[in-house]
Chain A
Amino acid sequence: MKLLTYIPACGALLVACLLAPACKKALDTKEYSALTPENFYQSTGDANAALMTLYVPFTSNWGNDDPGTSGPTWYAGLYNADIKTYFSKSEVGTDEVTNTATDGNTGPLVNYTWGPSTWTLASGAEATYSKISYVAKATDIMTAIGASSAVPDAVKKQYIAEAQALRAWLMYVLYDFYGPVNVKVNEATLTDTAETARPSDTAYVNQMIGDLNQAMPNLAVDYNGDAANWGRMSQGVAKMLLLKIYMMKKMWPQAQAAAQDIISMGVYSLMTGPGSYAAIFNTSGGSGSNPEVIYGVPANQSSPNFWPQEVFPQDFASAEPMVAPRAVGWITQFMPWAFYNKYDAGDQRLTTILSSYTNTSGVVKNESNGMPGAIPLKYTAVQPGLVGQNLDVVVFRYADVLLSMAEAINEQTGPAGAYAYVNQVRERAGVSDFAGMTQVQLRQAILDERGRELYCEGLRRQDLIRAGVYISTAVAAGKNAQPYDVLFPIPESVILQGRGIIQQNPGYTN
C-alpha cells in the first residue's frame, strides 16, 4: 500500500516539529558581528581597543556614536572645529572669535541666549555633557584591563595609567563647562539605577588631581619624536592638566610649582627663529616632532583637522603669499577687527591670520570693503585639494606653560618675577618686552597676551572667566549675557531624571 510510504515521512516531520523543543541549543542567541564578554578582553589588542574608547572623544574628526546610548546617539568630538564641540564653545562668542550664523547651535551661543533645553543630549547637540558617560567607561575599562589575564603587567600598568589620566582630562572638560558633575569613578556603582548627587567642588577637584598623580609614574615621560605613539597620554600631558586645574582654581602656588615641574622636565621648549610661530602648527611629521607641543590630536585624512575649512570664507579663492589658490571655505568663524587690532604691526603671529583675501570674483576683500573680520587661520600649511587638513590639532603647548607661570607669579608676588616668562613668548613673536607695569596692569597684559599667543586653541572662554571678564565682555558687545552664564546649564533631561537629587547650575530655569 502506497499510503505507507508517505506516512513515515509525515510522521517523522510532525514528530520532529512537536518534539523539537528538545533541541535547546538551536534557540541560543548567536552573535556574528558583535563582541561579547565571551570573546572580548582576551588579548593586549583587545585592551588597546578598549582604551581607544577613551581617546575617541578627543578626536579632531567630526565625532562618534556613543555605543552606550540608546540609538546610539552621535556626538561631536571635543577638539573638532564644529560649533557643537568643547573647542568651539570655548572660543566662539568670546571677544576672540565670533560667527553670524543663526542656526540652533550657533545663534544661542553667540547671543548668550542658551538655556537648559537649547542643546539636548537626545538630539546629540549637547556634545560636551555627553562625555560624562566616558568617565564611567574609563572606570570600567581600568577595572576590566586590570582583571584581564591576557595582558602583560607592564602593558596593563601603562594602559590603566592612560585610562586614569584620560578620565581626569574628561572630568576637567566637564568641570570647565558645568562645574562639578556626578561622574562615576567607583566600579561598583557603574550600573546602578539610582541617581547620584553632584559632588562638592573640593571632592571633584581632588579626584582629578588624585587620578593624575596616581597615573603619573606609569605614564611615559613624553611621546615627542615617537612617530608610532604620538597622541598617547604622557607625563607631560598629565602635568599640563594639573597646571590647568590649579590655574582654574587660582591655586597660584600649586600652579607655579606645576608649571615649574614642566619646565624642569627639560623636554619642552619654545620653537625659535623666523617663521617659528607658524611652524608650531605646520610641523611636518606631526606636532610631536616639535618640542613646543605637549599634546596634539594626531590628524590625517582618516581623522582630519577641519579648522581651516571652518574659517575660510565661502567665496575664498586665495590669499597669497600665505595661501595658494584653493577651494572655498565654510565661513563659520571670524576674528573681530577689534581683537585683530590688539596685535602690534610686525607681530610674527599675524603671519597666521589673514586680514585680506581674494574672492572667487577676483575682488580683494578686507576690512574696508565688507570683510566682517580677520580669518584666524592658525594652520597655514593648508593643502589646496583637501577639505580636512593633515595637521595635528594643537591642544597643549609650552607657551601656555610660560604664560601660566607668569600669571601665577604675578598673582602671588607681582610683576617682577613674571616678566621673564611672558617676555620669552613676546620675544619669539618679535614684539617688545613687557616692563614697568603694576600687578593689575600686567594681569590685563597677560590676558591680552594669552589671547594673541593662544588664539583659537580652545582656551579663551576659560581665560576670560578666570580673569572675571567673560560676562562683562559679552555685555559690552550687546549680548544677552547673564552672570550665571559662566557655567553652562546641566541638560534639562538630566535634571528631570535626577528628580531633585541633581541640582541645576544657579540661575537657569528648567
Chain B
Amino acid sequence: MKKRLLVLMAILLWCLRMQAQERTTSGQVTDANNHALAGVTVTVKGRNVGTSTNENGNFTLKTAPGDVLVFTSIGYTALEQKATGNMSVTLQSLTASLGDVVVVGYGTQRQKEITGSTVAIKAENLPKTASTSINNLLQGQAAGLNVDQRTAQPGGGLNINIRGQGYPLYVIDGVPLFNNQAAEPAITSGGSSNELGFSGGIDRDPLENINPNDIESIEILKDASATAIYGSAAANGVILITTKRAKTNGVVTTEYQGGYTLQTAKPYYHLLNATDFEKQVNALNYDQYLYNNKMGPYGSNTSGPTFNPVFSQAQIDTAGSGTDWLKMLMRHGSIDQHNLSVTYGNDMTRVFTSFNYYNNQALLKNSNFVRYTGRANIEQKLNSWVKLGVDVTFSQINSNNASSGAGGQGEKYNALQAAYAYSPAVGVYDDAGNFTHTLNTEIMNPAAFLTIADKLQTGRVLAAPSLDIKILDNLKVDLVGGIDKTSSNRQFFLPSKAQNFLYPTGLAQLSTQSIQNYSAEGYATYNKSFGDHNFSLVGGGGYYKSFNTSTSMQGVGFFTDALGYNDIGLGTNVAQNYEQSYHSPDLVKISQFLRLNYSYKSKYILTINSRRDGSSDFAVNKKYGIFGGASGAWRISQESFLSHSKVVSELKLRAGYGTVGDDAGLNALSLYSTDGGSFLIGSGNAATFYPSVSVSQLANPNLTWETIRSTNLGLDYGLFNNRITGTVDLFRNDRIHLLNSVPLPANNAVSYLNVNIGSQRSQGVEFSITSKNIVSRTFRWETSFNISNYVNRWLSRDPYVQLEPYQKVNDRTDEVYGWKTAGIIKSAGDVPNYMPNATVGNIIYQDINGDKTLDSKDVVKLGHSAPAWSFGLTNRFNYGNFDLSVFLYGKLGMYLQSDYAANGFYLAGRMATTSAQNSVQGIKNVWTAANPNGIYPGVAQNPYDGNNPSGVNNFFYQNVNYLRFSNIMLGYTLHARKVIQAARIYAGVQNLGIWTNYKGYDPELAAQGTPNPYPQALSSTIGIDVTF
C-alpha cells in the first residue's frame, strides 16, 4: 500500500512538472487524398495524455518541448511525429498501402516486397459479427480461400481449403499447429466406431477456442514458393494468424465490446401436417398393396387379400394439423458477447490482455455454447538487445449438444431425423404420461431427445514463450516455444424415461480426448545492405511433437435416472458396458529451414525458401525430405517509364515455383487391429466374449509424403494513386506421388495398400479488386470484390485400379457420373423397349449407347460437384459518423443432388408401409395409380437399378448457383473527449437471404454433404464498442 502511494505521488509530481512547461499544439490530420480525418487518436508518446480529431480533422493538445505525438486511427498506419506548434499530418491508409509489413513464416516482410501469392487480411476489415471462430469471418474474404459452412450448430465446423486443396496448416503467432483438429469425442455405439445418431454429432471448428477479437491480422500463403518454409505440412497452404499486441504509446487503452444477437430460424423443412400425413400414408400403402398383389396398373390380378388402410376415415377427418415436431425442438436463439481488452505499452514493456465471454443459446433446444477466453501477450525488453515475450491464451467452452448432424437409421435417428419422421398425428405424451410412439416404433420420440443430457467441456491452453536477442544491429536470434493442449470431456446420459429402443434402461457415456502440440524453434535473422542491394537471411531449426489420446466408457442399464452420468458404475447391463482408450502414434519432426530475400532498389526482388523435415510419419526408407521454393517479383511501376504515370501507381509482376509436402496420417507399419469385433464362446456364466485380432495393414517401407509442385504467376496493381488496387493470380498445383489407398484383390486378407501413386493437377485463376468509388469529406464508398476458380483433374492414376468404362484417365476429380433419366413411366405405353421389365412409376433411364441394355456403358458424366466460380463482394460506406457495410458471397455452377432426395424424403417407400415416416410436402408428387400425374418415382421397384455401377442417376440433380446476402452492418461512431475516447454503436443482420435455383434446403450445406442440417438462423445483432 505504501509503495502504491509513493508511485502515485511520483506520478502526480511528474504531471505537475510537465504542466509547468506545457504549451499548446494544434493541427490537422488528413489522408493521402488530403481529406480531413475525424476520430484520429492523438497521444503524447510516453505519457497518458491524448485527444482525438474533430470532424474537420483538427486537434488541440497540451505538449511539452520534445514531446512526440502518436497518431492512430483504424484503417491507417500509425504515425509518430515530433510536436510542433502547428502541425499538418498525413496518415496512410492501410488497405491502399503496399508499404505495410506483413507476417511471413519466421519473420515479416514489407508487402511491396512480397513475391509469393499471399493475401493479408486485417481483422478490423472483417465483418463484425458474432462468430465463434475466425474461420467463419474469412468466408468470401480472399480469392482462392474457400470457406464453407458444414453445419449451422454453434461453433459448427467449416470446410476450408486454399485453391481446392485440403485443410491448410495454421500457424498462430509463429507456432505451427501440426495437429490441428477439434477434440470433441464422439458418442460410440457398443464400443464400435458407429456413431449413435441420437447422441448428436458435434462438429466443431478447431479454432473455436481462439477468440476472434484477439486477432490482429491473417496472412494466407497460397503457393509453394511462400509455404515451402513449412515443408512437409504445407501442401494445402498456410494460414498465419497474428494476435494483437499493445502499442508502444505509453497509454493504457481499455476497450469494451458488447453485443447481443437474436437468432430466428430460417424457413426449414415443410413437413406434412397430420391430415395430409394420414391421407398420404393411406394413398401410398394402397399403391404398395396393388404392387405387391400385382393388381391395378401393376399386373393382371383383379383381386387380392383385403386391403386394410393404416388410418380410418374417421381418424383422417379428426386429425387436424397435429403436432409440429420441428417447432417443438426449436426456439429463438441468442448470442451474448462481451469482450474487454486492456493494453499498455511503452518502449520497454508491451502488455495486451483480453477477456471474452460468448454465450450462444442456439436454435435447437438444449444446444448452447458458452465460451470464456483470456489472453495475455506480454513483451518485456530486458535491455536494448534482449526481449522476452510470452503469448498465452486460455479458453474454456461449456456446451450442451442437441442431437443433430450425422444420424443413423431408424432406432439411431437423431432428434431432427425423428422430428421429420414422427407422425404429426400423435401428441407428445400418452394418457399414462409416457412419450408416444410413431408408426415406426423404433424411432425415439423427438421430445424425448430433450431429456438427454450431453455436456461437453473443452479447454485449450496455447502458450508461446519467446526470447529475441539482437546480437548485432543486423543480426537477431529468436527462440520460440509452443505448447498447445486441447482437452475435451464429454458426459452423456440417455435416461430410461426417454424410452430409447436400443437402450430402454438408459445409457451413460463419459469420454475424454486430448490433443497436444509441442514445439521449440530457434532461428537467426541477418540483414545486410550494400548500396541498392538488400539481403535478408533467415535460418533455423525446430523440434516438434504432437499426439492425441482418448478414453471413453459406457454404462447401460440404470435403475434410476436421478444420477445421470455421475455414477456410471451403476449400469447393471454388464455385457453392454465397456471401456476404451487410445493413444495415437507420436508425430515427431526435426526440421531445418532457410529463407533468403534479396532486393535491388526495391524493384527486382527474389525470395528463396527451403526446409528439410525429418519425420516419424515417414516410412523407414524415407525419413527425410527437402522442400523448397523460389519466387521473384518485378515492380514495374518503379521503372522510369511508369514511375510518373498518372494512371498506374503500383504494378508488380510475380512468379514463383516450389515444392511442398502433405504427410497427413501416414503410417507405414505392418499392423494388427483389435477393431474386428469380438465373439462369444460358451454358455451362461462360463461364456467369454473374446476380442479378435487380425492383420489390418501391410507395411510399405517406401511410403512417403505427397509432393505438390506449385507454379504461380501474379500481378499486383494499383491505379489512380491506389484508388483501385488488386491482384490477379494464375496458379497450377501438381500433386504427385499421391498417398493412395489402392485396392488389392478383394479376396486378399488385406484388400488395400497405402502407396504413393497417381497425380492430380489443380489450376485456376484468382482476381481481386478494391476500389474507392467515392472519396469525399462527408461520404466514402469502397468496394472489394474477389472471384476465383479451380479445376482439379487427374493426371495419372494407379495402374492397378481398373477404371469404369465411363471414366477417363484425366477426368476431373469432382466428376459426377450417372445414368441420365427421362422422367417416369406414367402408363404402360411409356415403357421403353430396352426396359421390358419396368413398370409404372419407374424412372426411365436413357439407353445412351443404344444397345438396348442398361449397364455401365450408359453411365455418362453428368456434371461437376465443385463450383465453377466462388466470389465475395463487400461494400463499405461512410457518411459522417455513420458507417455501413454490406457483404455477399456466392458460388456458381455446382452439380448437386436435392438434399430432400438425399434424405429420402421423396421415396415412396418412406410412407408406403405400415411403419410410415412423415416427409416433406413434395412427397405428394409421387406417382400412384390414383395420382397418374405424379412426377416422382412410385412404389414399384426398378429392376434396372442394380445394373448401374455409379449408383447415381440425375433425376434429383441440378446445376446450382447461389448468392448469399451474408451480412449488413450499420454503425455510428461518437467521438467523445473525456474518459471515453471513442464509441461506436452498431446494428446488423446476418444471413439475410439467399438467392438460389437450388431445389432443396441450403445449397451451401448440401454441397458439404451435410445430412439433416442444423437449422440456419437469421441473426440480428446490436452492439457497442467503447474505447477508454
Contact = CB atoms under 8 A, between A and B. Distances in A.
A115 B946 contact: yes
A303 interface: yes
A395 interface: no
Interface string A420-441: 0000000000000000000000
Interface string B594-635: 000000000000000000001111100001100000000000
B386 interface: yes
Interface stretch (A42-50, A152-160, A259-267): A42-50
Contacts of B855: 509-510
B585 to A, nearest CB: 6
Contact of B749 (A40, A190, A228): A190
Interface string A23-47: 1101111111111110010000010
A376 to B, nearest CB: 18
Interface in A300-317: 300-303, 314-315
B748 A184 contact: yes
Contacts of B586: 30
Contact of B695 (A28, A140, A297): A140
B948 A117 contact: yes
A232 interface: yes
Interface stretch (A52-60, A235-243, A453-461): A52-60
Contact of A118 (B670, B677, B685, B945): B945
A503 B441 CA distance: 44
A120 interface: yes
Contacts of B57: none
A80 to B, nearest CB: 12
Contact of B590 (A10, A21, A299, A491): A21
B802 A496 contact: yes
B501 interface: yes
B540 A302 contact: no
A227 B682 CA distance: 5
A68 B753 CA distance: 10
A136 to B, nearest CB: 4
A113 B946 contact: yes
Contact of A107 (B383, B592, B909): B909
A18 B541 contact: yes
Contacts of A229: 681-682
Contact of A52 (B618, B691, B802): B691
A116 interface: yes
Given A27-B623, A30-B586, A35-B674, A114 B441 contact: no
Interface centre among A28, A67, A183, A496 (most CB of B within 10 A): A67
Could you say which interface size class chain A belongs to?
35 or more
Contact of A33 (B440, B583, B687): B583
A285 interface: yes
A3 interface: yes
A113 B948 CA distance: 12
B584 A49 contact: no
A214 interface: no
Interface in B509-539: 520-524
Interface string A215-253: 000000000000111111000000000000000000000
Contact of B683 (A14, A141, A289): A289
A248 to B, nearest CB: 21
Interface in B902-953: 907-909, 912-915, 939, 941-949, 951
Contacts of B505: 385
A231 B682 CA distance: 6
A32 B547 CA distance: 11
A49 B696 contact: no
A46 B693 contact: yes
B268 interface: no
A400 interface: no
B471 A7 contact: yes
A65 B191 CA distance: 12
Contacts of B86: none
B751 A69 contact: yes
Given A26-B590, A300-B575, A387-B504, A331 B915 contact: yes
A139 interface: yes
A387 B679 contact: no
Contact of A510 (B696, B947, B951): B947
A478 B574 CA distance: 48
Interface in A96-140: 100-103, 107-108, 111, 113-118, 120-121, 129, 132-133, 135-137, 139-140
B543 A20 contact: yes
Interface centre among B288, B471, B573, B947 (most CB of A within 10 A): B947
Interface in A66-103: 66-70, 72, 74, 100-103
A147 B668 CA distance: 24
A302 B618 CA distance: 39
A88 B979 CA distance: 79
A108 B590 contact: no
Contact of A27 (B615, B694, B698): B615
Interface stretch (A192-200, A343-351, A402-410): A192-200
Given A21-B590, A136-B747, A33 B584 contact: yes
B678 A17 contact: no
A27 B682 contact: no
A192 B745 contact: yes
Given A117-B947, A192-B748, A30 B585 contact: yes
B616 A72 contact: no
A56 B679 contact: yes
Contacts of B194: 74
Nearest to B547: A32
A14 B477 contact: yes
Interface in B674-717: 674-696, 698
Nearest to A66: B676
Contacts of B477: 10, 14
Contacts of A196: 745, 747
Contact of B192 (A65, A111, A135): A65
A298 interface: yes
Interface stretch (B147-155, B292-300, B363-371, B980-988): B292-300
Contacts of A108: 941, 945-946
A64 interface: yes
Contacts of A30: 585-586, 616
Contact of B745 (A60, A111, A299, A497): A497
B1 interface: no
B667 interface: yes
B854 to A, nearest CB: 8
Contacts of A491: 746
Nearest to B752: A70
A301 B190 CA distance: 11
Given A65-B193, A387-B504, A193 B800 contact: yes
Contacts of A381: none
Nearest to B696: A67
A401 B583 CA distance: 51
A53 to B, nearest CB: 4
Given A53-B693, A302-B576, A510-B856, A72 B941 contact: no
Contacts of B802: 496-499
Interface of A: 2-3, 6-7, 9-10, 13-14, 16-18, 20-21, 23-24, 26-37, 40, 46, 48-50, 52-53, 55-56, 58-61, 63-70, 72, 74, 100-103, 107-108, 111, 113-118, 120-121, 129, 132-133, 135-137, 139-141, 181-184, 190-196, 227-232, 285-289, 297-303, 314-315, 327-331, 360, 369-370, 385, 387, 392, 478, 480, 489, 491-494, 496-499, 509-510
- Please give me the 4 A-B residue pairs with the lowest Cβ-Cβ distance, nearest first: A115-B946, A17-B541, A286-B683, A102-B909
Given A20-B590, A65-B675, A489-B946, 15 more contacts: A7-B471, A23-B590, A31-B669, A31-B671, A40-B672, A52-B690, A65-B676, A67-B676, A72-B675, A74-B192, A100-B288, A228-B686, A478-B299, A480-B943, A510-B856
8 contacts: A17-B542, A21-B590, A27-B618, A40-B672, A53-B676, A68-B694, A117-B945, A510-B947
